[in-house]
A and B are shown apart, each in its own frame.
Chain A
């Protein structure tokens, strides 16, 4: 995939960041407003798609490595399952942080509020981890699909053992 014209790249450089900011907003407000980890993560992944389309895949690959996204996926998912396991003193996925003070521990005020982020316990934590995971996963899908549309490149230089 070749880079687009300089106009498209400039516009993308300017406006893609709004996508990222909006996606992160959706992720961190996941427990308060419609949306959440997956939706926000998908928006942030759109940011990656913008960069990929505007600047071309080669440049993108020189900026970020696929291992980074794998790591993001792993960390997100591990935090998610650990949050479930830590509630095991009661039951699996028990919301042990809610109303306990501390991290995400305050109670939600009833009625309209300006966004009480420090509430709802593990739900907020899980939204964050799912957001991280989805950003990593979708970006990785985009990058792999990009490397798939170039038949002249070897199928994955790092692979061995196949093609017996």
Chain B
């Protein structure tokens, strides 16, 4: 057994260790703390990459925490999996990889961005805790752990959103975010309890195997759907999102995006893997589709009228989440019908998954460049900015890349995923594709607005002393910029190697369930 078997555990252990030792490294001064911040971030990105390659080559990875062996017969002849189980299939590994990249970029950016603030050892500790929670949500194999990791990442991110606690707005945003998140997490817990009451298991694969379609399951599904849609910022409960994203320090926002993607991951794990084929009626898929369309449209129309850079970009997050919900909803609609799946369902799913990676990369970069603008000029309002392109050329280029990608201009990566979505949603109902296109146009309009007002125009007198942001911040932004360019230049490669395995793993309910029973449990007599 090679050491790579331990990768899922290491993925959680390394950022945890990073968090717990961060206050101690701070005793050694600023340099040591920053080195630790970068080292641990690089380490978990490396682990995430190795995990992704391993899952790609050897299939779903199972890890039993504290188990005595890989083929563990549970004591007292019990065949119900009660041990803490990590299950990493291609979709999880894909999510882990892109979250790790976003977290790495946020960490690198934060070094320069947060430099003048005190209390950074706590910042680093909370940052790593949030990352741990995010990874945990994505690789866990049982529902209760999902709740625990959801809470870890949420509680850590409340602290990070309110890090600038001398600003009342930050506290207000954190309180709102906290209320929505806590309520959502408790709903997840109630849903888990409902499922437990009937099946006496919390393990995802086991549940997926034995689940039936009854009142208890319907209640649980509705609770899961409500809670996780709240957490990922779909429209009726989106109001925390612009507040929290705009008020958090920019590096944190970059990681927060990945955290909200982890909630989205949970939503799809529940609907596809647990309920999947048992969900015969098209009600739930249509609910997801309608939520998606509403998020897309309301998000973007709120964004157009914003004046603060951060809030404008944050409202675009709402609309981008709508794209993913749309793609996954259409995929879910086609799940029980093999012909529809081949015709448009799988394309929609690919579009949704591709959009997740694109969204995380370019939205992270947008927030980072908004943070860079704030760092350099000290103002958040678009009306006060202008002519910064000459002073901050590198930031401008990176912002341009991200803005072109989010607006879906060819040949950037946003175009490819949006094309998949247009194509497939048109087959379901033309109006969906129309909404998606209108949203895309409005997105382009509002990013042209930011670009025009902030970077172009005559140089303002008050910005004479503005200089380009420090190197570490630029490196953090470039990580995401390079990722976007790579995804744009090699669309075929990324679709074939990144997106397709993930999409296949998501629809392949049987292999997710089978992997657990094959690998870690003897006597699967449930």
Residues of A in contact with B (beta carbons under 8 Å apart): 70-71, 73-74, 77-78, 80-81, 84-85, 87-88, 90-95, 155, 158-164
A158 and B65 contact, CB distance less than 8 A: no
**Residues A74 and B17 in contact in the complex (CB < 8 Å), given A94-B66, A162-B164:** no
Q: Nearest CB to that of B120 among chain A residues?
A: A161
B63 within 8 A of A: yes
A residues less than 8 Å from B119 (CB atoms): 159
A67 CA to B440 CA, complexed, in Å? 52
A residues less than 8 Å from B84 (CB atoms): 93
**Residues A81 and B67 in contact in the complex (CB < 8 Å), given A155-B166, A160-B118:** no
A163 and B13 contact, CB distance less than 8 A: no
A70 CA to B84 CA, complexed, in Å? 29
A88 and B118 contact, CB distance less than 8 A: no
User: Residue A81 contacts which of B17, B64, B69, B378 (CB distance < 8 angstroms)?
Assistant: B17
A81: shortest Cβ distance to chain B, in Å? 5
User: Residue B20 contacts which of A81, A87, A155 (CB distance < 8 angstroms)?
Assistant: A81
B364: shortest Cβ distance to chain A, in Å? 24
B residues less than 8 Å from A95 (CB atoms): 66
B17 and A85 contact, CB distance less than 8 A: yes
**Residues A161 and B116 in contact in the complex (CB < 8 Å), given A78-B20, A81-B17, A88-B9:** yes
A92 and B65 contact, CB distance less than 8 A: yes
**Residues A74 and B20 in contact in the complex (CB < 8 Å), given A84-B13, A85-B13:** yes
B21 within 8 A of A: yes
B6 and A94 contact, CB distance less than 8 A: no
A94 and B9 contact, CB distance less than 8 A: no
B residues less than 8 Å from A162 (CB atoms): 117-118, 164-166
B173: shortest Cβ distance to chain A, in Å? 16
Query: Taking each of B6, B64, B66, B69, which has the highest tally of chain A beta carbons within 10 Å of its own beta carbon?
Result: B66
Q: Nearest CB to that of A163 among chain B residues?
A: B166
Q: Nearest CB to that of A85 among chain B residues?
A: B13
A158 and B118 contact, CB distance less than 8 A: yes
Query: Taking each of B10, B65, B378, which has the highest tally of chain A beta carbons within 10 Å of its own beta carbon?
Result: B65
- Mark contacts of B3-23 with chain A using CB atoms, 8 A cut-off: 1 yes-contact digit, 0 otherwise: 000100110110011011101
B66 and A160 contact, CB distance less than 8 A: no
B residues less than 8 Å from A71 (CB atoms): 23
A52 CA to B68 CA, complexed, in Å? 46
Q: Nearest CB to that of A122 among chain B residues?
A: B66
B384: shortest Cβ distance to chain A, in Å? 14
B21 and A92 contact, CB distance less than 8 A: no
B24 within 8 A of A: yes
B residues less than 8 Å from A73 (CB atoms): 23
B6 and A88 contact, CB distance less than 8 A: yes
Instruction: Return the 7 tightest CB-CB contacts between A and B, nearest first.
Output: A92-B9, A161-B117, A77-B20, A93-B66, A161-B116, A162-B166, A160-B118
A81 CA to B119 CA, complexed, in Å? 23
A residues less than 8 Å from B12 (CB atoms): 92
A residues less than 8 Å from B118 (CB atoms): 158-162
B21 and A160 contact, CB distance less than 8 A: no
B residues less than 8 Å from A161 (CB atoms): 116-118
Q: Nearest CB to that of B86 among chain A residues?
A: A92
B residues less than 8 Å from A90 (CB atoms): 67-69
A residues less than 8 Å from B9 (CB atoms): 88, 91-93
A91 and B166 contact, CB distance less than 8 A: no
B residues less than 8 Å from A92 (CB atoms): 6, 9-10, 12-13, 63, 65-66
B residues less than 8 Å from A84 (CB atoms): 13
**Residues A74 and B23 in contact in the complex (CB < 8 Å), given A91-B67, A92-B65:** yes
B165: shortest Cβ distance to chain A, in Å? 8
